[in-house]
């Protein structure tokens, strides 16, 4: 948005007179210039607005002056202090940015689709957005960027990008603890809730899978019977929930065996991976039962997609087709649906396959990844599977149980070796169950050298790099790439 728009917004939500601010800013810049709104002082550039947030580990107020030095023109703050630029002091910064953003949301968002779930939110959001933009102008769709899905990330995206009228907004809503989804839906009521799955992600914060379920279904809090919604009928907790809302007739997605009679939806019948002309493909067959249609869709995607991702494809197609768009008429889905950066991203180096999957980890996503690798090994595409693993975070009292289960999955899926990246010690617990050979590394250089040595052999190997975001395994991956390339 432009500076003037930002000041008008502050005035409209009724808390500040902006005449003096305008005079002050006019001496320094044009009020028609674009502003960039951020909580991260490292990203500050000319004409930025710095939002000072008091976090658990970092207090944004410590970076206000640095932001002004780098070109910020204004800062929103909670604590008064000796700052060398224009500051707007409010009682609660996070509430204030949400108040501003909800004003824009009500005005411009159009019809809103909100996605939550333990796994696959960013991927599904991105694919819904891409599918919609094959039918309507891309400019008329808003989506929060990357995984900016919290009470801080979402308002920042809205303030920066939702400043003109949209036809659709596709919004990912994240949850790491009790109350997160409720806060978001109270502030940004969705028209079309989509719940992907209930898994063990953040279980250390919620205390149980049932509690996670209760939090996720808060997405439906303001939902009325005549509005659409979408659920995964292959997820056991969501399937039970479905019994309670039979009358509302959600649109479903899931595996074909879990299809429920008389319900619309998109269902995965089968899929396979194959290699042709130096490239992997994932081909699949879906049943589309939407808008009175009953069709089969066969298609193929470029690259490797695991079953969880293919269920996301079903979710995205279910949502878009239930909005009345003929998704079955799209001749080539691979033009729309591709891999998302850092999420199960394959990189080929000579005859070896490296999979960069460092954006997130959970028991469920690791299981899908390993099942795919096992198939590749069974099909004799690769001789060896080596997993480079870091911990799954926020598992709390379930840490041992979850990491031991990973040990089982590694055995079941015939993983040859595991390289542990032990920045956090949780991952070491896989050793209680995993029967293969484990090497531990706390040092990136030693790990890179080990991999360099392994790829000298003639045995085609798949290396899966996977850990929770907080482990920053992507930096390790990038380092390994530098060393072996």
Q: Which is nearer to ligand ADP, 41 or 122 (CB)?
A: 122
Residue 342: CB minimum distance to ligand ADP, A = 8
Give the nearer residue to ligand ADP in terms of CB position, either 259 or 357: 357
Is the separation of the CB atoms in 173 and 184 below 8 Å?
A: yes
- Name the residue nearer to ligand ADP (CB basis): 169 or 197: 197
Minimum CB separation of residue 190 from ligand ADP in Å reads 16
Q: Given the complex with ligand ADP, which of 73 and 393 has the nearer CB atom?
A: 393
- What's the closest the beta carbon of residue 56 comes to ligand ADP, in angstroms? 20
Q: At its nearest, how many Å lie between ligand ADP and the CB of residue 9? A: 29
Phi and psi of 371, rounded to 5°? -60, -40
Shortest Cβ distance from residue 216 to ligand ADP (Å)?
11
Q: How far is CA 401 from CA 204, 424, 430, 432, 433, in A?
A: 11, 16, 9, 10, 11
Tell me how far CA of residue 454 lies from CA of 160, 339, 385, 484, in angstroms.
46, 27, 11, 10
Measure the CA–CA gap between 109 and 162, rounded to whole angstroms: 7
Q: Please give the Cα distance from 279 to 302 (Å, whole number).
A: 8
Nearer to ligand ADP, 50 or 465 (CB): 465
Q: How far is the CB of 119 from ligand ADP (least distance, A)?
A: 3
Q: How far apart are CA 452 and CA 347, in angstroms?
A: 15
Residue pair 152/58 in contact by the 8 Å Cβ criterion: no
Please say which residue, 63 or 188, places its beta carbon nearer to ligand ADP: 188
Which of 112, 163 has the CB closer to ligand ADP?
112
Bridge partner residues of 34 (DSSP):
2
Query: Which spans of this chain sit near ligand ADP (rule: CB under 6 A)?
Result: 119-123, 147, 196-197, 308-309, 311-312, 343-344, 357, 359-360, 364-365, 368
- Separation CA 312–CA 333 (nearest Å): 13
Q: Least Å distance between CB 353 and ligand ADP?
A: 15
Q: How far is the CB of 17 from ligand ADP (least distance, A)?
A: 41
* Shortest Cβ 85–ligand ADP spacing (Å): 35
Our CB check for ligand ADP shows the closer of 76 and 392 to be 392
**CB closer to ligand ADP, 117 vs 250:** 117
């Amino acid at each position: 948005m432009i500076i003037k728009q930002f000041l008008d917004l502050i005035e409209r939500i009724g808390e500040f007179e902006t005449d003096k601010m305008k005079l002050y800013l006019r001496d320094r810049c044009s009020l028609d210039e674009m502003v960039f709104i951020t909580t991260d002082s490292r990203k500050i550039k000319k004409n930025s607005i710095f939002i000072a947030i008091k976090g658990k580990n970092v207090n944004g107020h410590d970076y206000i002056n640095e932001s002004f030095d780098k070109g910020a023109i204004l800062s929103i703050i909670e604590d008064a202090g000796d700052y060398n630029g224009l500051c707007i002091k409010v009682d609660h910064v996070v509430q204030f940015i949400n108040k501003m953003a909800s004003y824009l949301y009500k005005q411009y968002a159009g019809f809103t689709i909100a996605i939550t779930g333990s796994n696959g939110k960013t991927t599904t959001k991105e694919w819904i957005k891409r599918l919609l933009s094959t039918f309507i102008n891309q400019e008329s769709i808003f989506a929060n960027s990357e995984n900016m899905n919290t009470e801080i990330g979402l308002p920042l995206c809205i303030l920066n990008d939702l400043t003109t009228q949209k036809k659709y907004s596709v919004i990912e809503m994240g949850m790491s603890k009790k109350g997160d989804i409720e806060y978001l839906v109270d502030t940004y009521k969705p028209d079309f809730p989509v719940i992907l799955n209930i898994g063990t992600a953040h279980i250390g914060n919620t205390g149980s899978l049932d509690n996670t379920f209760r939090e996720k279904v808060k997405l439906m809090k303001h939902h009325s019977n005549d509005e659409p919604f979408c659920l995964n009928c292959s997820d056991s907790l969501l399937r039970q929930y479905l019994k309670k809302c039979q009358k509302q007739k959600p649109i479903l997605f899931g595996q074909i065996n879990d299809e429920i009679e008389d319900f619309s939806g998109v269902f995965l019948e089968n899929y396979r991976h194959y290699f042709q002309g130096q490239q992997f493909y994932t081909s699949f067959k879906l049943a589309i039962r939407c808008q009175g249609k009953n069709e089969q869709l066969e298609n193929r995607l470029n690259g490797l997609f695991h079953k969880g991702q293919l269920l996301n494809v079903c979710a995205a197609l279910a949502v878009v087709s239930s909005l009345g768009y003929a998704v079955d008429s799209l001749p080539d889905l691979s033009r729309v649906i591709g891999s998302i950066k850092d999420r199960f991203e394959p990189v080929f180096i000579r005859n070896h396959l490296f999979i960069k999957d460092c954006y997130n980890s959970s028991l469920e996503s690791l299981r899908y990844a390993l099942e795919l690798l096992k198939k590749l090994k069974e099909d004799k595409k690769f001789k060896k599977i080596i997993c480079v693993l870091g911990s799954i975070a926020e598992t709390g009292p379930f840490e041992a149980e979850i990491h031991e289960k990973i040990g089982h999955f590694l055995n079941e899926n015939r993983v040859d070796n595991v390289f542990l990246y032990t920045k956090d010690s949780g991952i070491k617990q896989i050793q209680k169950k995993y029967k293969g050979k484990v090497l531990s590394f706390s040092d990136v250089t030693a790990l890179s050298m080990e991999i360099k040595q392994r790829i000298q052999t003639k045995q085609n190997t798949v290396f899966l790099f996977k850990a929770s975001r907080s482990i920053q395994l992507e930096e390790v991956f990038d380092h390994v790439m530098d060393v072996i390339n």
